[in-house]
Amino acid sequence: MGSAPGSEKDGGTLTVLGCDGGYPGPGGAASGYLIEASGVVVWLDSGPGTFANLQLVADPARVDALILSHEHPDHRSDADSFAVWLHEQPAAAPVAVYAPPGCRRRVYFGDDAVFSWHEVESSQQVVISPRGGGAGVVCSFSATDHGPPTLAVRVDVAGAQGAGRAHSLGYSADTGPGWSPEELGPGIGLFLCEATYTRDHEGEARHLSGRQAGAMAAAAGIGRLVLTHRRPSIAEDALAAEADEAFGRPVHQAARGRVFAW
């Protein structure tokens, strides 16, 4: 099972900045995660409330790149909060943003010089390197089954791809059941998967139930499964129970501030 954060030479950590699906619940935050590995800090999705929580766990000046999975506000609205903060840092270099087509025009500061914007497509790979030099991480993208262009992400330590399932991170972004983590390739040790609602809501939207998330993760041979993006109105225990059953063993729940080693 997972080791303590930072103790693995070849993996990294994932810190949950927010995990509420669709909108932040009371005192909560929508989708956002901080990935630290191989000398780089990557902010993955910037939903409402996540910039506030990022500042509790890291200096925003350490963020090397921001990845936005898609244009929906619950995954990107705090990119604008970050831009305003960056305006206060006159010496800061532009921060690289990686996002699918359509996302940039939704960000108020999308054309601002504080960002270095890169449009990415499905199957593309991006290397994010430490500013001081070093290996960094390789991010691979896969289009999911959602509304607007949406990219799932796989993160590997550069040079260590395929070295072992314990050291790859996968993130489903938002998706319906027409996508599978198998499209991110084999050997995903930790899979962060959306599970928006319980099985009685299946088919209402291009999202997953706990049952569907557990079943697709089991079929893909995932190591550890972490569920996220639960809609605040959905009971956590009911969603977790159906996911456990479909996955065949206990799943983990994302929670604000929780850290997972991968």
To the nearest whole angstrom, how small is the minimum distance from the Cβ of residue 10 to Zn ion?
31
Task: Give dist(CA 32, CA 18) in Å, integer.
Answer: 5
- Residue with Cβ nearer Zn ion (174 or 242): 174
Q: Cα separations (Å) of 133 from 98, 130, 154, 236?
A: 20, 5, 22, 42
Cβ 139 vs Cβ 122: under 8 Å: no
- Residue with Cβ nearer Zn ion (174 or 183): 174
Residue type, position 262, single letter: W
- Residue with Cβ nearer Zn ion (38 or 175): 175
Phi, psi (rounded to 5 degrees) for 219: -65, -30
Q: Which residues bind Zn ion (CB under 5 A)?
A: 74, 174
Cβ 175 vs Cβ 208: under 8 Å: yes
- Residue with Cβ nearer Zn ion (48 or 189): 48
Cβ 214 vs Cβ 191: under 8 Å: no
To the nearest whole angstrom, how small is the minimum distance from the Cβ of residue 196 to Zn ion?
8
Query: Two tokens at 204?
Result: 């209402």
To the nearest whole angstrom, how small is the minimum distance from the Cβ of residue 73 to Zn ion?
9
To the nearest whole angstrom, how small is the minimum distance from the Cβ of residue 145 to Zn ion?
13
- Residue with Cβ nearer Zn ion (156 or 174): 174
- Residue with Cβ nearer Zn ion (11 or 24): 24
To the nearest whole angstrom, how small is the minimum distance from the Cβ of residue 124 to Zn ion?
22
To the nearest whole angstrom, how small is the minimum distance from the Cβ of residue 47 to Zn ion?
7
Cβ 85 vs Cβ 60: under 8 Å: yes
Task: Give dist(CA 262, CA 81) in Å, integer.
Answer: 28
To the nearest whole angstrom, how small is the minimum distance from the Cβ of residue 52 to Zn ion?
18
Q: What share of the chain is helix, strand, coil (3-state, %, to 5)?
A: 25, 30, 50
- Residue with Cβ nearer Zn ion (47 or 223): 47
Strand segments, DSSP code E, in the chain are 12-18, 32-37, 40-46, 65-67, 95-99, 115-119, 125-128, 137-143, 151-157, 168-171, 190-194, 224-228, 252-253, 259-261
